Structure 1
Amino acid sequence: MSVRASGVCYADIGTAAARNPATGFPIVPGHEVAGVIAELGEQVEGWSVGDRVAVGWFGGGCGRCDRCRAGDVVHCPERQVPGLSYPGGWAESITVPADALARIPAGLDFFEAAPFGCAGVTAFNAVREAGTPAGGRVAVFGLGGLGHLAVQFAAELGYEVVAVARGDSREQPARDLGAHHYIDSAGQAPGAALAQLGGADLIVYTASSTGPVDELLTGLRVHGRITLVGVDAGSLTVPAARLVMNGHVITGQLTGSPRDTEAAMRFAVTTGVRPMIERMPLEQAGLAVSRLRSAAPRFRVVLDTTDGRPS
C-alpha cells in the first residue's frame, strides 16, 4: 500500500518511544493510514491496484476464532495492530493483511480519511451502539481528537449534545461542531452540571484520565450509560448501590472493524462530519508527537507522507 496520509494518535506517544525487542531498532508507528493499493498478494481477491483504502487500529485477525466468526474481529485474541504487530503507516509504504482494508468513499480525501481508522470509527461506534433513545441527551467528556468527532456524530444522529471540556476557550469550537450545551469542567463539577440540565442518557468519555469518572456518573439519568474510549492505567471506584439503584451501565469501546470504518466514512460523506486536522510533513513526526503530548493540536495531526508526490 502506498501511503498518502497517516494520523497521529495519543497511543502513538508510547509506540514512538519503543524499540523492536528482536532488533533494537525503533518501531515504525502509525495506525491511522490512508493511501492506494500498490500491489496485491497472490491469493488476495476483491481488491485492485489503485483502490483507495484505509487501515486502522485493527490491522488483521485470525479469521478462525469465535470472535472473528461472529464478526467481532477487533476482539480477536490474535488481532494485529499496525505499528505494533508490523511496521506502521508513518512511512511511504506499508504491507497489511487484506482483511484490514477499508474502502475510502468518494467525497473524502486521504487526510480526512486517515483518522477514521481509529478516532473516527471509535467515536462513531461509541455513539451509535449505545442504544440511546431518539432525541436523547448525549454528553461528550473531552474535546480532543476523539471528542470533537463524537460531538459531530452525536449531533448528526439527532441527539441533544452536551460538550464537556476544560476552559471557556473551547465553548465556541464545541458549539460550532454541533454541541447544544457546554460545560466548563474547570469551573464546575461536570456531573452536577449535567444533573442540573436533567441528566444524560449517554456519556462518551474521551479523556485519557479515569479520575473524573466517579463524579461524572452523578450526571447520568436512570438507565444511563457511560462509554469509556479514553483510558489510562487507573481503576474506577464506583458505589455499587448507585449502579443498582439507577440501572447504570459502564462499558468501553474498542475501535471498530473495517466494515465499521467504512460505515463511519459513508456517514461522514452524507452528513458533513469531518476531522479537524493539522497537516504536517512526515519529517516532522517527532514534532507532531511533542505537540500531541502537550495537547496542542486542534484537534488531530495527520502526517503527509507524499513528499511532494501527486496524491
Structure 2
Amino acid sequence: MATMRAVQISEAGGPMQLVEREVPVPGAREVRVRVQACGVCHSDVFAVTGGYPGVTFPIVPGHEIAGVIDEVGHDVGSWKVGQRVGVGWFGGNCGHCEPCRRGNFIACQNTGIPGVTFDGGYADHVVVPATALALIPDDLSAEDAAPLLCAGVTTFNALRRSDARGGDTVAVLGVGGLGHLGIQFARRLGFRTVAIARGTAKEELARELGAHHYIDSTQEDPSEALQALGGATVILATASNADAQAAAVGGLAPNGRLIIVGASMDPLGVPPAAFIGGSTGIVGHASGTSQDSQDTLAFSELADVRPMIETMPLEEAQAAYDKMMAGDARFRMVLLTGS
C-alpha cells in the first residue's frame, strides 16, 4: 500500500496534524494530482473551524493547489498524466443542475470545495473532479501559480467582467493578499489604477505594483479623493472592513460599481438613497470557474503578474497558517511538498 503525507484537522478547532495516509485512487471523472505547492488562504479557516456547510472531519485543508497529474480515472476527457494543473476554490461542476444547464457553472448546486467539503492540497496527492482542473503555463512556477488560483482569479475575474474599459479609473481598496494582485491586474488591463489603504506604509509598494495614484484614507476622505480624479468606474473592495468599504462608495462615478471580494459579516452602513442620483451600486463577486482560473494563469504569465509569497515546507503548515492569520505574511503563504 502506497502512502503519502497529509496535514489534517481531526476536529473543529483542532490543530493541524501531519499524518500518513493511503494514496487516494481517482474514480470516474476524477484525476489525481501530485501536489507541488498549495497556497494558504484565509478561507482555510472554514476547515479549521468547521464553519461551512458540508465540512466533515478529519479534513485536509487547501484550495490553492498546483501540481502535476499522475493518475487519471475513467471519462476525464483530454486530461493526461504529466500535465501541469491547478485547482482553486471551484471544485468542479455537475453539468446537470439548473445553474449548470444555464451555463452558470460557478453556481453549480452540487459542486464541492477542495480543502473544505473534500480533502484538499495540504498533502502530497489530492484527487479532484476533472472539471476542476486548470492548465498551468510552462513559464509559471507552481509556487507562483498556487495563490493565483484563488486570490488571483477572484480579482482578475472581477475586473475583467466589470463595466470598466481601458482608460477608466479603477480603485483597489486594500493593499494585501488580494489587493496587491488587484493592483497589478488593474494596471495591466489598461485601467487608471488607484490604490487605497490606511497610512503611507504601503504607498511605495502600491506604486511599484502599478498604481498611478495612492489615497491614504487616514489623511483624506477616499470618496472625495476619488471624485477629484473624476470618480471611479469600479472600486474593487479587497479589504474586508465594512466601514472602509462604506467610506469609499461615494467615490463612484455615475453608473459605477463597488465590487466586493473581501468578505465581511458586518453591516455595510450606506444609506440606500446614496445610490440613486448616480445610478451606482454594490455587487459581490464569486471567484470563478476552472476556465476562469486557467485564463488568470495565462494572463498572469503573459502580463508578468506575480503574487508576493513566502514559502514553507508542508510539515510547517500550522506555522504558515498561524502566520497568515496573524497578518504577518506579505502577502501569501505557500506550502511546498518538495515533489
**Fold shared per TM-score above 0.5:** yes
Say how many residue pairs are matched.
307
Separation (CA, whole Å) in 2 of partners of 1:23 and 1:197: 46
Match of 1:211 among 243, 247, 263: 243
Match of 1:167 among 190, 196, 199: 199
Q: What displacement does 1:117 show? A: 1.5
Separation (CA, whole Å) in 2 of partners of 1:43 and 1:137: 46
State whether residues 46 and 52 of structure 2, in contact with CA within 8 Å, keep that contact through their aligned partners in structure 1.
Answer: no
CA shift in 2, pair 1:21/1:56, >3 Å: closer
State whether residues 161 and 179 of structure 1, in contact with CA within 8 Å, keep that contact through their aligned partners in structure 2.
Answer: yes
Match of 1:129 among 134, 137, 161: 161
Match of 2:72 among 40, 43, 57: 40
Structure 2 residue 293 is matched with structure 1 residue 264: no
The amino acid across from 2:208 in the alignment is D
Per-residue displacement from partner, 1:14-66 (whole Å, max 9, x unpaired)? 42343999998442110000001111112222111111000000012221123
Per-residue displacement from partner, 1:230-267 (whole Å, max 9, x unpaired)? 11212223222221111102101100011111111111
Separation (CA, whole Å) in 2 of partners of 1:25 and 1:217: 41
The amino acid across from 2:255 in the alignment is H
Structure 2 residue 214 is matched with structure 1 residue 177: no
RMSD: 1.9
TM-score by length of 1: 0.94
The amino acid across from 1:75 in the alignment is A
* Structure-2 residue corresponding to 1:72: 104
SS at match of 2:310: strand
* Structure-1 residue corresponding to 2:175: 143
Give the gaps of 5 or more residues in structure 1. none
Moved more, 53-62 or 210-219: 210-219
* Structure-2 residue corresponding to 1:293: 325
The alignment-based identity, stated in percent, is 47
Structure 2 residue 144 is matched with structure 1 residue 107: no
CA shift in 2, pair 1:78/1:293, >3 Å: same
Match of 1:31 among 22, 40, 63: 63
TM-score by length of 2: 0.86
Q: What displacement does 1:210 show? A: 1.8
The amino acid across from 1:63 in the alignment is G
* Structure-1 residue corresponding to 2:306: 274
State whether residues 18 and 27 of structure 1, in contact with CA within 8 Å, keep that contact through their aligned partners in structure 2.
Answer: no
SS at match of 2:91: coil
Separation (CA, whole Å) in 1 of partners of 2:242 and 2:281: 16
Per-residue displacement from partner, 1:138-168 (whole Å, max 9, x unpaired)? 0000111111111001100111101111221
* Structure-2 residue corresponding to 1:60: 92
Match of 1:223 among 235, 251, 255: 255
State whether residues 30 and 83 of structure 1, in contact with CA within 8 Å, keep that contact through their aligned partners in structure 2.
Answer: yes
Moved more, 5-14 or 48-57: 5-14
SS at match of 1:289: helix
* Structure-2 residue corresponding to 1:199: 231
Give the gaps of 5 or more residues in structure 2. 1-32
State whether residues 19 and 26 of structure 1, in contact with CA within 8 Å, keep that contact through their aligned partners in structure 2.
Answer: no
* Structure-1 residue corresponding to 2:47: 15
Separation (CA, whole Å) in 1 of partners of 2:323 and 2:93: 32
Separation (CA, whole Å) in 1 of partners of 2:55 and 2:99: 32
* Structure-2 residue corresponding to 1:157: 189
State whether residues 16 and 28 of structure 1, in contact with CA within 8 Å, keep that contact through their aligned partners in structure 2.
Answer: no
Separation (CA, whole Å) in 2 of partners of 1:219 and 1:21: 36
CA shift in 2, pair 1:215/1:6, >3 Å: same
